């Protein structure tokens, strides 16, 4: 059954948003967990695995979002993003480096000419508790400093109170402030309580102008679980079927191993379809996944794991 419906017009009342979102089909929670678990057991052949690892590397948003981040740490991360394996130039670069907005200019300079994008979290990440004007100023600053992608958080308090119009209008305002930059909308699914809410928030974000929907900030558990990513993939699949427009998906938070990455790729292929097996439509937000992908890549090509100090720390 399609999980999409025509969006209300821009003047829609909160009641009409509520009627539409609560009119979406409910998620069978047990069935969703079982399907995601079943897909997670699929194995892939060695040749496909080499391809999957390189694709996963190209999909990584290499992330550092710590209070202790420094320009030096961001420059080191950028060097790694552009040349993940200095001993093997065939290793692909990652999609983007993701940093706080005050470090965007540092990342933009460090990545100039590399083809790696700069993404910035914004809108009072991770809690999103600030007046809209502050969120818009944060967004505009990141874009002015050169961020090509903005990762915003939704107002979970408003969403859980049923104030869907507020959530929608805030996303739409941030989208406008983004100008040419792509907008990823973080749902923080670990705070949304139910899979039905994950589906509703996905739908709301898509209709408010999201270019990507993203699971989590990485600061709240559970983060990017397979059932949640599956529900979000269903939403973008159904939106595409209804409108012809493709929205991207970004699981983020707790994705640490090649096995995690491959499971996500299987899910993408099976649920949204092969068109989404592209960094333009699927990203893996992760601070410490890249090293494992590089280790497994080296193992596949040489037959042996590199030593523990071979790759620089994520």
Catalytic residues: 151, 214, 250
Window of 12-20, 23-31, 189-197, 250-258 that interacts with ligand G3H by CB under 6 A: 250-258
**Residue 40, number of CB atoms within 10 A of its CB:** 15
Order the strands of the 212-214 sheet from edge to edge: 248-250, 212-214, 182-186, 149-153, 117-122, 96-100, 60-63, 284-286
Q: How many CA atoms lie within 13 A of 115 on its CB side?
A: 9
Query: Which DSSP state fits 45?
Result: -
Minimum CB distance to ligand G3H, residue 57 (Å)? 15
Q: Which of 4, 63, 101, 291 binds ligand G3H (CB under 6 A)?
A: 63
Window of 99-107, 175-183, 201-209, 248-256 that interacts with ligand G3H by CB under 6 A: 248-256
Q: Which residues contact 187 (CB under 8 A, 6 or more apart)?
A: 154, 198, 201, 202, 205, 213, 214, 215, 216, 232
Minimum CB distance to ligand G3H, residue 126 (Å)? 8
Residue 279 contacts ligand G3H per CB under 6 A:
no
Minimum CB distance to ligand G3H, residue 94 (Å)? 12
Does residue 95 contact residue 82 with C-beta atoms inside 8 Å? no
Q: Which of 77, 103, 173, 252 binds ligand G3H (CB under 6 A)?
A: 252
Window of 69-77, 157-165, 226-234, 283-291 that interacts with ligand G3H by CB under 6 A: 283-291
Q: How many residues does the chain have?
A: 314
CA distance 18 to 1: 20
Nearer to ligand G3H, 65 or 91 (CB): 65
Residue of minimal CB distance from ligand G3H? 218
Does residue 210 contact residue 184 with C-beta atoms inside 8 Å? yes
Q: Judged by CB under 6 A, how many residues of this single chain contact ligand G3H? A: 13
Query: Which DSSP state fits 190?
Result: G
Residue 101 contacts ligand G3H per CB under 6 A:
no
Residue 117 contacts ligand G3H per CB under 6 A:
no
Where along the sequence are the contacts to ligand G3H (CB under 6 A)? Answer: 63, 65, 98, 217-218, 252-255, 285-288
């Amino acid at each position: 059954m399609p999980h999409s419906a025509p969006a209300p017009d821009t003047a829609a009342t909160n009641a009409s948003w509520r009627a539409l979102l609560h009119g979406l089909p409910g998620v069978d929670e047990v069935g969703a967990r079982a399907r995601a678990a079943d897909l997670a057991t699929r194995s892939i052949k060695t040749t496909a695995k080499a391809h999957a690892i390189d694709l996963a590397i190209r999909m990584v948003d290499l992330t550092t979002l710590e209070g202790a981040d420094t320009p030096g740490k961001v420059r080191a991360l950028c060097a790694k993003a552009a040349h993940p394996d200095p001993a093997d130039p065939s290793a692909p670069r990652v999609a983007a480096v993701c940093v706080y907005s005050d470090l965007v200019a540092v990342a933009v300079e460090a990545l100039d000419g590399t083809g790696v994008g700069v993404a910035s979290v914004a809108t009072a990440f991770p809690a999103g508790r600030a007046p809209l004007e502050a969120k818009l100023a944060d967004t505009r600053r990141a874009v002015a400093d050169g961020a090509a992608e903005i990762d915003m958080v939704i107002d979970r308090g408003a969403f859980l109170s049923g104030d869907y119009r507020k959530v929608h209008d805030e996303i739409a305002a941030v989208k406008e402030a983004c100008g040419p930059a792509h907008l990823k909308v973080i749902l923080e699914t670990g705070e949304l309580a139910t899979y039905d809410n994950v589906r509703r928030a996905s739908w709301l974000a898509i209709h408010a102008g999201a270019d990507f929907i993203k699971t989590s900030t990485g600061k709240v558990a559970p983060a990017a679980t397979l059932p949640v990513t599956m529900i979000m993939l269903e939403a973008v699949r159904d939106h595409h079927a209804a409108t012809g427009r493709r929205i991207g998906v970004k699981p983020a938070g707790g994705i640490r191993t090649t096995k995690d990455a491959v499971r996500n790729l299987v899910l993408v292929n099976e649920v949204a379809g092969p068109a989404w097996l592209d960094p333009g439509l699927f990203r893996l937000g992760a601070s410490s996944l890249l090293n494992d992908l590089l280790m497994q890549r080296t193992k596949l090509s040489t037959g042996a794991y590199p030593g523990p100090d071979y790759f620089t720390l994520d």
